[in-house]
Amino acid sequence: MKKGYSPMMYVHIIITLFLMFGFGFIPPFATLTPMGMRLLGTFLGVIYGYSTCEIIWPSLFAFIAYGLSGFPGSMNAGISATMGSSTVFQIITQYFTAGAIVIYGFGKWFIRWSLSQKAFKGKPLFYTWCFMFIFMWSAIVLSQIAMALLLYAIWTDIADSCGYDKDSTFRYYGFGGILLSMVMGGGMIPYKSWMLGLATTWADVTGEIVNLGFMFLLTGLVGTIVMTAYVILGAKLFKVDFSIMKGFDVEKMGEDSKHLRPRAKRIIIVYVIIMLLSIFAGTFTKNPVSNFVNNTLTVGGLYCLCSAILMVLPSGEGDKKAAIVFNDIKHSDAAVSWPVIMMCAITIPLATAMTNEATGILPWLTGIFEPLFAGRGPLFILIFTIIVMMILTNIGSNIAFGGAMIPVVSPFVMAAGMNPVIAGAALIWIANIGIVLPGASAPASIFHGRSEIPDAAMRTKVVCFGALLILITTTVVFSIAQLIAG
């Protein structure tokens, strides 16, 4: 028997389209202009569509609504501002390389190697911590989504091999830890994807570039504390039984996981060099190399160079092919995530457009928060930003809400005389922690959609526990940093 959409899905579609194309016909209120109403409606429609439906078709309708809003000037100008963005180009070229690392077997090799170490014999809790901790750091370089899918499969294999029941908390606890490790690792340094867009927007609004190295020190500390607390406290809270984990057999991973392929080694080496150069240019900005990378080549051009080199560099496997073969990766979700690309393409220029004085949106948003911020000190503004951003990013699109909060928070940050780098780093970091609801982020959608953990209530408990740990730790660490800097 064929089944169509549920009645609620039709409601979600209608609401999404009404917000994008009908909201602009509502008479403007407060300081908003007709253009501002159209852009605000598009923005609300994007958030609602991402949170209740999916990514692709709301993005396509948002392209049309953005082009018709009058802000770009024409539909062609709107398409150029979205799909022609340098950030979108960087994301595409970066996916080629990061995805190829997974496709060519690095993940399986690394997991087999780590599980074979004598240090983990008879120490399942220690192994679990290392498993999550190591891959948290690898998520800085590797694709969060591709690695999450691989790690979920491995954790399921571990659970099955050890004989854990299908409804065992071991599975939910492990999956939750993997989600946390991927999200936190991927958000530590905003040198790629949509987080790069937020960092760029923050720099444009405040005039202060987010120091990537300094942010990494803070977020790395938060990640280490949270991961440790999750593994130890979570095991007790969810009553995880580690007594039957000792029987895992690494031979189940297959012969192809015993050795790291030569082409994977070359991809990793080139990618890490480019990544380090990107981090260097974003951290130490006052030198000729950084000036060339940031202002002439640009980070997008840098990762384009990375992909180009790897598509020319010999694989080292004697197959007369390059390290990256485009036909190997072009159909893989690990190599190119179109939902992420589409989200970035529409939300970054849309968030920027909403701050334009012609819309009247910024004075309205500022007016809402002004009574609350009036007379408040830097510490209050920082803590309030962290808490509100954590709530917003788990309600809807982390990209859209992150972009919208920047022009709201930044004037108060500058007026209070607080360190804009700390405030910007806190906002961008927390915007990445969308894990509670399925629509909060792509990693969250994957987590909540896994058939191996069907109990929605248990999934929610696990991610809420992780989100609480991140919220508390981030507030404490960044507040201390602000007090020292202030």
What's the CA gap between 288 and 313, in Å, rounded?
Answer: 27
- Short-list 373, 471, 429, CA closest to 198: 429
Task: Copy the structure tokens of residue 433.
Answer: 């922690």
Domain boundaries, the chain: 1-83, 87-329
What's the CA gap between 100 and 323, in Å, rounded?
Answer: 9
Burial class of residue 251 in the structure, from the number of CB atoms within 10 Å of its CB (0-12 exposed, 13-18 middle, 19+ buried): exposed
**Per-residue confidence in pLDDT tens, the chain, 486 aa:** 556 788 889 999 999 999 999 999 999 988 889 998 998 899 889 878 877 787 789 889 998 999 888 887 778 877 777 777 776 777 777 767 766 777 787 767 776 777 778 888 778 899 899 999 988 998 887 667 667 777 887 788 778 777 788 889 999 999 999 999 999 998 998 876 678 878 888 888 888 888 888 999 999 999 999 999 999 999 999 999 988 777 667 676 677 778 888 988 898 888 888 878 877 887 777 889 888 988 888 877 888 898 899 999 999 998 889 988 888 776 665 556 677 677 777 876 776 677 677 888 767 876 777 777 777 788 998 998 999 889 888 876 677 678 778 878 888 888 888 888 899 999 999 999 988 876 677 688 778 777 788 888 898 899 999 999 999 999 999 999 999 886
CA 57 to chain CA centroid, Å, is 20
- The model carries a pTM of 0.67
What's the CA gap between 384 and 54, in Å, rounded?
Answer: 30
What's the CA gap between 122 and 366, in Å, rounded?
Answer: 56
